[in-house]
Amino acid sequence: MQPATGGVLKRARMRAVVVGCALFIMAALAGCVEVPVASPAPTPESELAPREELAAMPELPVSELQNFGEDVVAFLTEDRTTYCAITTEQGGIINSPVDPRLSGGERDDTVLEVPAVYCELTRYPEPAKVTDNCHGTNLGFKGGTILLTAERVSYGGCRVGMTLMEAELGPGADGGDSQLSRLPLLEDGTAVELNGFRCGGTDRGLVCAESETGLGFVASVDAFEALPAQ
């Protein structure tokens, strides 16, 4: 009897054909199927620093705001929470176009009158620390006022009661028809510049800085931040 090799060879050839077809199909699929590759997460745009944001703002001509002469311009922020004047200061006496209390008093002519920015807020944080004993009087050192000159920036001061801004435009105030309430609004995203100082409204609050040194501040009803000179 001859060995039954024909069936064995036939089955072997069948297995070879099946394996070959399977390998061909797998190779074809591998060439057609695209494996998804995760793309890197988009990098968020870097937020400008306050001074950079201020420098990039379009400048509003002083003539379009309340101008009280060559050396003084005053305005309210768009949300009407902050009043500012780019003005002058002499030994603590502010040349205020809307508050004669700040402009009054005896001036010390031995002290130089210098350009300055003076601001008040309707609501404000307390000073981080008391920096003045108010000459031993019963006056309190309170927040809500800002003074910026080319040499220094200070927040808070000695006073009794409310600032003019609190009294006329603060919570519960009716606004009235005072000179303060009639000041023009400085829209967010625009800046005004005078006497070497630049101020502009941003989402984070009002930003003001001295043009040469960068000394300045960011102020809002929730926070105050001094910007050191660069």
Complete DSSP assignment for 139-169: -EEEEEEEEE-SS-EEEEEEESS--HHHHHH
Mean pLDDT of 211-225: 95
Beta strand 191-194 with 66-67 is unpaired
Q: Rounded CA gap, 86 and 119, in Å?
A: 9
Q: Angle at Cα 77 formed by Cα 199 and Cα 175, nearest 5°?
A: 145
Mean of pLDDT values over 19-28 = 43
CB 141 within 8 A of CB 134: yes
DSSP letter (8 states) at residue 105:
S
What percent of the chain clears pLDDT 90, i.e. is strictly above it?
55
pLDDT at 138: 65
Express as a percent the part of the chain with pLDDT over 70.
Answer: 79
Q: Dig out the tokens for 1 from the structure.
A: 């009897």
pLDDT band at 229 (very low <50, low <70, confident <90, very high): very high
Residue 217 near residue 225 (C-beta atoms within 8 A) = yes
pLDDT of residue 202: 93
Give CA separation, 157 vs 23, 54, 59, 81, 132, in Å.
85, 26, 30, 18, 8
Tens of pLDDT, residue by residue over 94-150, are 999 999 989 887 778 888 999 999 999 999 999 988 877 887 776 789 999 999 999
Asked if residue 21 has pLDDT above 60, the reply is no
* pLDDT for residue 230: 87
Mean pLDDT of 42-56: 77
Q: Which residues pair with 90 in a beta bridge?
A: 93
Residue 81's pLDDT is what?
A: 95
Higher pLDDT, 8 or 15: 15
Q: How does the average pLDDT of the chain come out, rounded?
A: 82
Q: CA separation (Å) from 9 to 1, 6, 18, 19, 68?
A: 18, 5, 14, 15, 110
> Can you give the pLDDT at residue 133?
80
On the question of pLDDT at 10 being above 70, the answer is no
How do residues 144-202 score in pLDDT, each as one tens digit?
999 999 999 999 998 888 999 999 999 888 767 889 999 999 999 999 999 999 999 99
